[in-house]
């Protein structure tokens, strides 16, 4: 077992930050190359005219999921120490709705707003400014909703844990769902694209 590299001491704290910067540049580069720095393409997700975002994100999820599963099966990655973001169901649902509203209004999400700004788009800069103002407002008003923020905690759970299914079966289910989503996306684009 030798990965995650940071958890097993192969990367120091500073080295892991340097790796994060490199991965961040790579992430932004491929988002931009995939056209996800364009607000019209991103907003098309919500009008069902362009579902590139769904295809890119679901492809990334499937790639990472299969990679981690089989590397874990081979004993290269210790999945028990891969960090899982804890789940707070209702607060995260509300957060998702707020995120979605901002996404469809602005046409960009926080990550792609960085990509758009990096390519000189003014709407990217506007979204970035709004994001930082939102962060400040969130921190200043946090005491008002701290109780709700920490409610409905489920800890670090996976789909397999919640469904009570073996991990391998859940992997197959997610891939089947991805294939279905891609097929549906093609039909929706054919019907609603102008």
Using CB under 8 A as the criterion, which residues of the chain lie in contact with other proteins when the complex forms? 1, 6-10, 62-63, 66, 69-70, 72-73, 78-81, 158, 160-161, 166-169, 171-172, 174-176, 179
Based on CB atoms, which residue is closest to other proteins, 135 or 183? 183
Please, what is the minimum distance in Å from the beta carbon of residue 155 to other proteins?
A: 12
Based on CB atoms, which residue is closest to other proteins, 131 or 160? 160
List the structure tokens of 164: 């009570």
CA 172 to chain centre: 20
Please, what is the minimum distance in Å from the beta carbon of residue 47 to other proteins?
A: 25
Please, what is the minimum distance in Å from the beta carbon of residue 169 to other proteins?
A: 5
- From CA 124, how far away is CA 33, in angstroms rounded? 16
Q: Can you give the length of the chain in residues?
A: 194
In this structure, what is the dihedral angle of CA atoms 85, 90, 93, 98, given to the nearest 10 degrees? -110
Please, what is the minimum distance in Å from the beta carbon of residue 12 to other proteins?
A: 9
Based on CB atoms, which residue is closest to other proteins, 53 or 178? 178
- From CA 16, how far away is CA 168, in angstroms rounded? 30
Based on CB atoms, which residue is closest to other proteins, 10 or 142? 10
Based on CB atoms, which residue is closest to other proteins, 75 or 134? 75
The answer to whether 168 and 70 are in contact (CB under 8 A) is no
Q: Locate tokens 């892991």: which residue? A: 16
**Is residue 161 classed exposed, middle or buried when 0-12, 13-18 and 19+ CB atoms within 10 A define those classes?**
middle
Please, what is the minimum distance in Å from the beta carbon of residue 54 to other proteins?
A: 15
């Amino acid at each position: 077992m030798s990965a995650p590299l940071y958890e097993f001491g192969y990367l120091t704290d500073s080295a892991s930050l340097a790796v994060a910067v490199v991965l961040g540049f790579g992430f932004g580069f491929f988002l931009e190359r995939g056209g996800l720095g364009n607000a019209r393409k991103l907003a098309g997700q919500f009008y069902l005219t362009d579902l590139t975002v769904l295809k890119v994100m679901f492809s990334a999820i499937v790639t990472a999921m299969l990679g981690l599963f089989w590397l874990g099966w081979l004993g290269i990655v210790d999945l028990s120490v891969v960090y899982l973001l804890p789940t707070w169901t209702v607060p995260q649902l509300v957060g998702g709705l707020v995120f979605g509203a901002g996404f469809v209004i602005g046409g960009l999400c926080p990550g792609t707003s960085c990509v758009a700004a990096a390519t000189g788009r003014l709407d990217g800069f506007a979204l970035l400014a709004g994001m930082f103002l939102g962060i400040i407002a969130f921190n200043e008003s946090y005491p008002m909703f701290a109780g709700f923020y920490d409610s409905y905690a489920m800890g670090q759970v996976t789909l397999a844990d919640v469904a009570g299914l073996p991990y391998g079966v859940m992997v197959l289910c997610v891939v089947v769902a991805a294939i279905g989503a891609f097929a549906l996306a093609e039909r929706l684009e054919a019907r609603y694209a102008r």
